[in-house]
Chain A
Amino acid sequence: MTEYIAKRLLQALLVLAVMTVLVFFGVNVIGNPVYIFASSECDQPCLDKIITDLGLDRPIWEQYWVFVGNLLQGDLGNSFTHGVPAMSLIWERLPATLELAVCALVIALAVGLPLGVAAGLRPTHWTSRIIMGFSMLAFSVPVFWIGLIMIIVFSVTLGWMPAVGRGDTVEILGVDLSLFTLDGLHHLAMPAFTLSLIMMAMVIRLTRAGMREVLFSDYIRFARANGIRESRILSLHVMRNILIPIVTVLGMEFGGVIAFAVVVESIFSWPGVGKMLIDAIAVLDRPLIVAYLIFVVIMFVALNLLTDILYSVLDPRVRLGGAR
């Protein structure tokens, strides 16, 4: 196990190294950020000074080395627009995004699992058809459209829900969370639900497929032949088996949800990292974009590792670190 984790961490470092190259060069050949800093009266010497200050006069590989050297010290540079370290901006915004993503995950599971089980138990019943139709829609209708329609219906027309912002927050363990205030929950509901839809659709489909497979397996039939109660069979004997693919897929998907909460955060003006990224791209704030991308890579690698570990806990046949 430890050996396996060590190996995975090594791989992760490699992935990270490759990603720094891609991200750095990718971002640094786009546009010229100098004009953001230069006022309209700025003449050539003034422009040259800005270029020297930003280190843009040096060859690009040298810039890369400086970037990597700083990265190793945990320094991803100062944001051009905010003038503060990019990483601290991300840390500041991250709780809002994490809160949104975790809530979306919880909603996806809380709604998706029961619906999937229901659809799997009676696949030809009309309720199952409705559930599967819903999952198809949730999967294919664009998130931004759903978000906008929800705002139109619940905020504009009915006036039940706030359309934008995060609402009241309370500080818990040094982190601002809106999950624990009524106003915060009120603000959180629509964006979290919108963000959860794709995961929810996936959970429904995976659960249903798992049910269809596991319910007809010999071991479930054997459990029934032993007179074990149906509720116990469903909640333990079937569920354990179904959770394996769900955990795998959600583990990988969750990183994506955090990274690409961009759309939902933009629509609902949720002050998270996704919204920050969009703003950063709009003004070509290179360090902030790079810092965000590096952060996303690290998060994906960490989540994949976590998924593998969780997977081995759920499925005893999976032994991390190869056959023994």
Chain B
Amino acid sequence: MSAPVVLEVENLNTSFLLPSGEVKALRDVSFQLRRGEILGLVGESGSGKSITGLSINGLLSPPGRVMSGSIRLHGEEITGLPHAAMRRLRGAKIAMVFQDPMMTLNPVLRIGVQMGDALRAHLRISERECRARSVAALEEVGIPAPEDRLNAFPHQLSGGMRQRVAVAIALLHRPDLVIMDEPTTALDVTIQGQILALVQKLCRERGTALIWITHDLAVVAGLAERILVMYAGRIVEDGAIDDVLDTPAHPYTSGLIDSVPSRAQRGQRLRQIPGRMPALTDLPEGCAFRPRCGFATEACAAPQALRALGGLGGRHVRCCHPLIPVPS
């Protein structure tokens, strides 16, 4: 755990300022990421995991806005950076890959043009070097006949191939941090496995810090070292992946783990968390999971702090009835 810290997020609050009022998408999100570390960011749709990614690389589209808090890259504050400075970071220092490979690449531009634009966004290089670098990048992600692929349009490649291209583009400038927003959700399971292995390998080789956003615990289990569970815009639990999955402290985490179908016995009903996430427009005071939680009591209505759990891996939980004991 002595690797240098790449990313520090502190008390990040992101809101959507709608005419009907402020929707708080993120509340007091804090975490840090070290060089080469792989962090799994887990939660249901609407829990704020994608918004966290977009807040970090400054791609929130209005009315979304980072309201307060601090995001530091190598110790330097990047919230409130001017557009031009932020653009120079994107792709070069912080890269991002999105969910649907069918939609991530521009349908009317050749792969070579898209890679060339991504390269030239940060480098002044000749057409020839551009091609050479693109070919090398495609080779690294295991695309056969990369020279030919440069002239191909996205629709001529399969979904898995396209996501490989997207990964290649994201890693072109050897960024310090890569944010992957459910990059394998839309892919076949076998392809998903390949992409996972590929990303893991490349990040390890280069010491790239990785945030892997997903709702699929099974994916995170095999990939990440640390896990961050989000619910209704708040971090409810974090810690080393094995600890959290073996002994979840938050009832929500436990519910998520129980909901993984492969854990159910044959013939048994699949487990689920009853109810659904409350609308961000009217979150209850205190614990937002309270209405769905079997352990909820009056005490849960009070604001909850993220409390440290004992043991290795720096575990935290935001719950007044944690499933494992909290040292006082």
Contacts and interface: CB of A to CB of B under 8 A. Distances in A.
Interface of A: 216-230, 232, 236-237, 240-241, 244, 314-317
Contacts of B289: none
A231 to B, nearest CB: 11
A317 to B, nearest CB: 5
A265 to B, nearest CB: 38
Interface string B288-328: 00000000000000000000000000000000000000000
A225 B155 contact: no
Contact of B121 (A220, A229, A240): A229
A249 B99 CA distance: 33
B121 A225 contact: no
B88 A221 contact: no
B155 A317 contact: yes
B108 A227 contact: no
Contacts of B188: none
Interface residues of B, number: 36
B106 A219 contact: yes
A237 B107 CA distance: 9
A4 B88 CA distance: 47
A108 to B, nearest CB: 22
A223 B117 CA distance: 9
B96 A217 contact: no
Contacts of B90: 224-227
B170 interface: yes
Contact of A227 (B91, B97, B114): B91
B95 A225 contact: yes
Contact of A241 (B61, B106, B110): B106
A244 B117 contact: no
B104 A219 contact: yes
A220 B83 CA distance: 16
Contacts of B91: 225-228
B16 interface: no
Given A227-B90, A227-B122, A229-B87, A222 B61 contact: no
**Closest 4 A-B residue pairs measured CB to CB?**
A227-B91, A218-B103, A226-B91, A227-B90
A222 B166 contact: yes
B153 A227 contact: no
Contact of B57 (A225, A230, A241): A225
Nearest to B110: A316
A219 B117 contact: no
B95 A316 contact: no
Given A225-B57, A226-B90, A316 B108 contact: yes
Contacts of A315: 107-108
A241 B100 CA distance: 18
20 contacts: A216-B61, A217-B103, A218-B100, A219-B104, A220-B106, A221-B59, A221-B98, A224-B59, A225-B57, A225-B90, A225-B95, A226-B169, A227-B87, A229-B121, A232-B117, A237-B106, A241-B106, A314-B108, A315-B108, A317-B107
